[in-house]
Chains A and B, each alone.
Chain A
Amino acid sequence: MYPSKFDYVRAQSVEEAVERTSSHSNAKLLAGGHSLIPALKLRLAQPDLLVDLGRIAALKGISRHNGTVSVGALTTHATCAASDDLPKVWSEAAGLIGDPQVRNRGTVGGNIAHADPASDLPTVLIALGAQIHVQGTAGSRAIPADEFFVDLFTTSLEEGEIITRVEVPAESNQGSAYTKVFNPASRYAILGVAAQVAIAGGVCRQLRVAAGGSTPKAIRAHHVEAALQGQPLNDTTIQHAAAAIAEDLGEEVIGDMYASAAYRRSIAAQIAARALSAAAARAR
C-alpha cells in the first residue's frame, strides 16, 4: 500500500516543529508512526507535509524529581515498560501494548494525541491524574488528563500544539495495577481498567480508578471510587465497589466486530475487581 505523496522534514527542535506545522495548512507531526503510517496507507490521512519529531532528543526519556515523574513525549512504550520510576500501573500497561515491535516504535505523545478509544494510555493517565504539557505558537500550557481527552480520536490540543511531556505523581506507598481484555489480533483494549490505591489504618484512603476501551473516551470511575473510599479492602468490598462500574460506563458502551456492548458490560465488574485487588496487594 502506498500513502499519497507528501513532503518530509526532520525537525531539530520543538520550536522548529511548532513553526513548521503552524505555518503550513496541511502538515502532520510524525512520532513513532504506528498509528499515522497505517492511516497514511489507507489514505485516511493525506497530509502535504510530515514533520518528523523522531530525532528530538529533548523529547525522550523519563526523569524523576521531587515526587514527580516526567515522561518525554517521544519516549517509547518499551522504555516505559522497563521503567522503575513510573507508577506500576503505567509500566504494566505499557508492557501490554501491542507486541514488542509495536512497543519499540510507538510513543507516549503519539498514543495520547491519537486518542484511539482502544488505547491503554488514556485510561492510565486519567487514573494517575496526569498533566499533559504542550507547546504551541502561543507558548506552553499544561492540560489535566481529565480535560485532554474530548471524544473518539479528539483531544483538546489546539492547531499546531505539540505534546512535549507528561507528568504524573511518583508512586510512594500506593499500589497500582492495569487489567486488560485484549482484541486478540491487534491486542488493543476491548476493556482496560487502571487502579491506584493507598491504604491507611486498614482502610482504603486514596483511590483513583479509570476505564477505557469500551467507551468513546476513557472515563474516571467515580462510582467505583466512592463505593470503596474509607472501606477495608477485601473480596466482598472490592466486588461490591467493582459492580458500580456499570454506572460509570453509562449508556455509550461501544459494540463492534470484536466485542458487543453487552459482552463488555458483562465483563466490566470482574475486570475492575481484578485491577482493584492487584492494586491493593501492591499497596504498602
Chain B
Amino acid sequence: MTAINVVVNGKSYTREVEPRLLLVDFIRDTLSLTGTNIACDTSQCGACTIHLDGQAVKSCTVLAVQADGSTLTTIEGLANGKLHPMQQAFWDQHGLQCGYCTPGMIMAAAKLVEENPEITEAEIRHGLEGNLCRCTGYQNIVAAVAQAAKA
C-alpha cells in the first residue's frame, strides 16, 4: 500500500491505496464520489473525465498513485452555490438523454470553453472527440456547449 494525498473539490484526503488502483475507482469507491462514471474502461469514451491539476483527463487511465499531491475537480465540485454555466446550459438545451455520458461531457466541455471562450461549433465537435454519447445526443450537447460559451 502507498499513502497518497489529494485535494478533491477543495477538500484534502490522505488514503492508503494499492498501486494498481485506478483514479476513477479511488474517486468512486474510496471517496464515495459516484458522480464520475465508468463506461468503456478502455480510455475511449470520456465518461470518467475529471480535472487533474486543471486539465481534463480520463480518470480510468490514471493510477491513483500518479495523482498524489494533485488537485482534482469532479462533477460534484463544479457547481459553486449555483449550477456551473455548463451544467445550466446542459439543462436548458436538454443536452442529455440517459445522462450516463453527461458528467464526463460537462467536465470536458467546461475545459474547452475555459481554454477557448470564442469556441466555434467545429471546434466544439473536434474538442469533444474524446467523449462518446451512446444515446447519440450530440446535437443538443453541442448546442449546450455553445450556450455556455456565450454565458
**A contact residues vs B (CB 8 Å cutoff):** 1-8, 10, 30, 33-34, 37-38, 40-41, 50, 52, 54, 78, 98-102, 104-105, 185-187
Interface 0/1 of B81-115, CB less than 8 Å to A:
00000000000000000000000000010011000
Q: CA separation between A4 and B112, bound complex, in Å?
A: 35
Residue of B nearest to A187 (CB): B129
- Stretch from B7-15, B37-45, B140-148 at the A interface: B37-45
Residue of A nearest to B38 (CB): A1
List 26 contacting pairs A-B, 8 Å CB cutoff, sorted by A: A2-B20, A3-B20, A4-B20, A6-B19, A7-B19, A8-B2, A10-B65, A30-B63, A33-B63, A34-B43, A37-B43, A37-B62, A37-B63, A52-B65, A99-B128, A99-B129, A99-B131, A100-B56, A100-B108, A100-B130, A101-B58, A102-B43, A104-B56, A104-B57, A105-B57, A105-B58
For A37, list chain B residues within 8 Å (CB).
22, 43, 61-63
Residue of B nearest to A34 (CB): B61
How far, in Å, is A50 (CB) from chain B's closest CB?
7
Q: CA separation between A6 and B20, bound complex, in Å?
A: 7
For A50, list chain B residues within 8 Å (CB).
19, 63
Q: B20 near A99 (CB under 8 angstroms)?
A: no
How far, in Å, is B55 (CB) from chain A's closest CB?
4
Q: CA separation between A38 and B57, bound complex, in Å?
A: 14
For A5, list chain B residues within 8 Å (CB).
18-20
Q: CA separation between A38 and B128, bound complex, in Å?
A: 21
Q: B58 near A100 (CB under 8 angstroms)?
A: no
Q: B46 near A40 (CB under 8 angstroms)?
A: no
User: Which single member of B2, B62, B111, B131 contacts A33 (CB below 8 Å)?
Assistant: B62
For B130, list chain A residues within 8 Å (CB).
98-102
Mark out the residues of chain B between 43 and 74 whose CB falls within 8 Å of any chain A CB in the assembled complex: 43-44, 46, 49, 55-58, 61-63, 65-66, 68
Residue of A nearest to B19 (CB): A8
User: Which single member of B41, B44, B131 contacts A1 (CB below 8 Å)?
Assistant: B41
User: Which single member of B19, B44, B68, B127 contacts A186 (CB below 8 Å)?
Assistant: B44
Residue of B nearest to A105 (CB): B57
For B20, list chain A residues within 8 Å (CB).
2-6, 40
For B62, list chain A residues within 8 Å (CB).
33, 37, 105
For A52, list chain B residues within 8 Å (CB).
65-66
**B42, B61, B112: most-surrounded residue (chain A CB, <10 A):** B61
Residue of B nearest to A185 (CB): B44
For B43, list chain A residues within 8 Å (CB).
34, 37-38, 102
How far, in Å, is A199 (CB) from chain B's closest CB?
31
Q: CA separation between A6 and B1, bound complex, in Å?
A: 10
Q: CA separation between A103 and B57, bound complex, in Å?
A: 9
Q: CA separation between A120 and B73, bound complex, in Å?
A: 31
For B42, list chain A residues within 8 Å (CB).
38, 41
Q: CA separation between A57 and B61, bound complex, in Å?
A: 22
For B131, list chain A residues within 8 Å (CB).
99
How far, in Å, is A57 (CB) from chain B's closest CB?
13
For A4, list chain B residues within 8 Å (CB).
20
